[in-house]
């Protein structure tokens, strides 16, 4: 009896997570896949079909949006990594007792609503705004120069919005690195750059990996930045799905595209973790 209880305990303890997974992940997922397979329209209702071709067929016509989403997602994630690594590194190694203050400052903008922050960039970056206006008046930039309504505005918006989500996982791993290892490397005549490449970078790889997933997945599916900062020709899959859902009320199309996007992300993540997964990282570190 006692043994049985001991055996069950971990399952019982994890029950809330299972219920949570079921209610907020598995059921919505099944409902999305079901909708992707449905045929009909909002007036006369929907019936189930088993037409998988239809689901895959939804892809045609939207290839460019998918390609664009993955390209914006990758570019923005790489740029975010490049910006947030030095920041996380500096806070972890040099901020001393003010670490939490700096982390708080990084988190601060995120207390403001996401859409408001993006709208603020629309204002700051406007053609005659207080950033570009003076530069144009001084002749530093040509009169026709603009940032808004370009792909760089969208990628920039994605970078800005994912910054904190990359700094935090990086900070967590960098903070934990045993400083004696770096000192040992120095004692063994490693130049600072070598010590960084041989010691710190490999040890922080799990943070790079986790942050990459966190930021990449969110950014590929984003649609707010493209809608507010983009121009013609910056439409991402998220925008197409939003249109299909709210404008055309084409729920099967929206569900099909969402399923395809999810599948592609899953494949991308699998390949990614296969290539740079934690096993490989640990081998490298060892």
Footprint on this chain of another protein (rule: CB under 8 A): 27, 30-31, 33-35, 37-38, 41-48, 50, 61-62, 64-65, 119, 122-123, 126-129, 144, 146, 148-149, 227-228, 230-233, 235, 239-240, 243, 246-250
* 100 versus 248: smaller Cβ distance to another protein: 248
CB of 70 to another protein, least distance (A): 17
* 122 versus 175: smaller Cβ distance to another protein: 122
| Local structure of 189: helix, strand or coil | coil
CB of 166 to another protein, least distance (A): 28
CB of 44 to another protein, least distance (A): 7
* 119 versus 141: smaller Cβ distance to another protein: 119
CB of 213 to another protein, least distance (A): 27
* 90 versus 145: smaller Cβ distance to another protein: 145
Q: Are 45 and 184 in contact (CB under 8 A)?
A: no
**47 alpha-carbon distance from chain centroid:** 35
* 3 versus 47: smaller Cβ distance to another protein: 47
Sequence-distant (≥ 6) Cβ neighbours of residue 166 within 8 angstroms: 77, 80, 81, 84, 88, 211, 214, 215
CB of 113 to another protein, least distance (A): 14
Sign of the alpha-carbon torsion through 205, 210, 215, 220: positive
In the chain, alpha helices (H)? 2-13, 15-21, 27-37, 52-57, 63-94, 99-107, 114-124, 132-137, 151-176, 179-187, 192-195, 201-220, 224-229, 237-242, 251-276, 278-285
């Amino acid at each position: 009896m006692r043994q049985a209880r001991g055996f069950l305990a971990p399952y019982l303890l994890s029950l809330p997570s299972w219920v949570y997974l079921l209610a907020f992940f598995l059921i919505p997922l099944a409902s999305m896949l079901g909708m992707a397979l449905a045929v009909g329209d909002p007036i006369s209702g929907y019936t189930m079909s088993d037409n998988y071709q239809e689901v895959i067929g939804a892809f045609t016509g939207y290839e460019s949006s998918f390609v664009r989403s993955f390209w914006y997602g990758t570019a923005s994630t790489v740029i975010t990594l490049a910006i947030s690594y030095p920041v996380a590194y500096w806070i972890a190694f040099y901020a001393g007792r003010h670490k939490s203050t700096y982390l708080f400052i990084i988190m601060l903008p995120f207390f403001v609503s996401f859409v408001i922050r993006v709208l603020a960039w629309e204002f700051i970056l406007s053609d005659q705004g207080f950033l570009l206006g003076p530069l144009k008046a001084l002749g530093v930039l040509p009169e026709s120069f603009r940032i808004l309504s370009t792909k760089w505005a969208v990628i920039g918006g994605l970078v800005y919005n994912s910054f904190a989500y990359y700094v935090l996982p990086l900070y967590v791993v960098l903070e934990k690195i045993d400083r004696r290892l770096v000192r040992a490397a120095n004692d063994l005549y490693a130049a600072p750059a070598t010590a960084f490449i041989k010691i710190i970078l490999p040890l922080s790889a799990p943070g790079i990996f986790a942050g990459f997933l966190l930021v990449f997945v969110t950014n590929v599916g984003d649609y707010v930045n493209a809608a507010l900062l983009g121009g013609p020709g910056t439409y991402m899959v998220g925008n197409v799905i939003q249109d299909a859902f709210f404008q055309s009320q084409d729920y099967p199309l929206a569900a099909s595209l969402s399923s395809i996007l999810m599948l592609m992300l899953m494949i991308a993540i699998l390949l990614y973790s296969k290539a740079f997964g934690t096993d490989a990282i640990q081998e490298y570190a060892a």
